[in-house]
């Protein structure tokens, strides 16, 4: 059911397969759904990054086309951030659109010092405490992301 939702949101199967692989690998650290009148309308996953401090990567985020632009994506991000903070993680990385993610506190400037296969203007980080433990080092997503073309 979640796989179908993700496939419909992205218009392709890659991200649904990614979520299945993350689960098989034991890397589905946080997986949340958004319900609208009993219908699963959205889903977000957080998986552990390889990083100099305990950090999660937010991906994928998917909302069914019929339910987009109603705040479900934002609610899922905020709930995922809260869960990660409660669990003691130090940061969340995301690869995405700055205009969308800046509103939640994700910052490309704070991520700019890290070396990563994903380095660039789309890599952002949200500190879950006052400051990041470090702004240098290598960061990479969980192994399942390596098979995503």
- Interface pick for ligand COA out of 96, 105, 113, 133 (rule CB under 6 A): 96
- Please, which residue, 45 or 136, has the CB nearer to ligand COA? 45
26 near ligand COA (CB under 6 A)? no
- Please, which residue, 76 or 128, has the CB nearer to ligand COA? 76
- Interface pick for ligand COA out of 31, 50, 70, 135 (rule CB under 6 A): 70
- Please, which residue, 10 or 137, has the CB nearer to ligand COA? 10
Q: Are 72 and 41 contacting, i.e. CB atoms less than 8 angstroms apart? A: yes
The CA distance from 85 to 122, in Å, is 23
The CA distance from 48 to 61, in Å, is 15
- Please, which residue, 9 or 30, has the CB nearer to ligand COA? 9
The CA distance from 16 to 103, in Å, is 26
Tell me the number of residues near ligand COA by CB under 6 A.
Answer: 18
The CA distance from 81 to 77, in Å, is 6
Helix extents (H) in 1-145: 2-10, 14-24, 72-86, 98-102, 108-111
52 near ligand COA (CB under 6 A)? no
121 near ligand COA (CB under 6 A)? no
Continuous segment of H or E residues that includes residue 46: strand 39-48
CB of 33 to ligand COA, least distance (A): 13
Helix extents (H) in 35-147: 72-86, 98-102, 108-111
Q: Which residues bind ligand COA (CB under 6 A)?
A: 9-10, 59-63, 68-74, 96-97, 99-100
């Amino acid at each position: 059911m979640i796989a179908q939702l993700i496939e419909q949101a992205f218009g392709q199967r890659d991200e649904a397969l990614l979520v299945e692989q993350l689960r098989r690998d034991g890397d589905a650290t946080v997986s949340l759904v958004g319900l609208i009148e009993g219908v699963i309308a959205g889903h977000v996953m957080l998986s552990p990054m390889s990083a100099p401090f305990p950090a999660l990567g937010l991906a994928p985020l998917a909302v069914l086309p019929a339910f987009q632009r109603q705040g479900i994506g934002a609610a899922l991000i905020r709930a995922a951030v809260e869960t990660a903070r409660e669990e003691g993680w130090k940061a969340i990385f995301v690869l995405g659109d700055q205009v969308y993610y800046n509103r939640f506190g994700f910052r490309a400037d704070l991520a700019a010092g890290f070396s990563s296969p994903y380095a660039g203007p789309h890599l952002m980080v949200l500190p879950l405490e006052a400051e990041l433990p470090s702004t240098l080092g290598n960061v990479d997503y969980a192994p399942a992301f390596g098979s995503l073309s």
